Amino acid sequence: MGSASVIRLTSPCTLRHRALAVRLVAEACRLARGEGTTDEQSMGYDLRDPFDAEIVSAFAEIYNNIVLHAYARREGETIDIAIHVGAGSLTIEIRDSGKTFDPSSVPEPDLDSLPEGGMGLHIARAMLDEVVYEPGPPNLWRLIKRHRPTAATTKAS
């Protein structure tokens, strides 16, 4: 991963703890965009920024899938998250010891019918540069997003 800094979190893998993991990913987005904060500032991430919104949304979908499908909502399970913060990029590695699956077996959703479920992997693939799954144990998800400044974010700087 080069000279990237790494942020790690091991947490219970429940929907109750999802906000904690999502907040960590959102804050890492700010670091990847090269924005610093001072101690007086609160959160520096901006979910109006496409980079932040896309990686946070994709991460939350994969996290939900681990809770709901890999662990079938079992209490007492954990998730290990390593966020590699590079200059203008984030790589998130998520490890779980839950049930494995074959991503190629997940059908493309019928977007015309607006399904209630089954969209998580599709959303993650649409929003990220790379989505890699390696069955375990442990299972490994690798989510990669590179920051591409937009005209709006460039003018705001």
Q: What is the pTM of this model?
A: 0.83
Domain count, the chain: 1
DSSP string, 114-125: --SSS-HHHHHH
Which among 116, 125, 123, 157 is positioned nearest to 143, based on CA atoms? 125
Q: Residues 117-136: what's their mean pLDDT?
A: 89
- Angstrom distance (rounded) from CA 62 to CA 152: 29
Q: What is the pLDDT of residues 13-26, one digit of tens each?
A: 999 999 999 999 99
Q: Which has the higher per-residue pLDDT, 146 or 38?
A: 146
Q: Residues 4-10: what's their mean pLDDT?
A: 91
Residue 112 counted as domain residue: no
Residue 22 counted as domain residue: yes
Residue 74 counted as domain residue: yes
Report whether pLDDT(149) > 90.
no
Residue 149: CATH number of its domain = 3.30.565.10
Q: Residues 32-56: what's their mean pLDDT?
A: 72
Report whether pLDDT(35) > 70.
no
Label the pairing between strands 139-146 and 5-12. unpaired
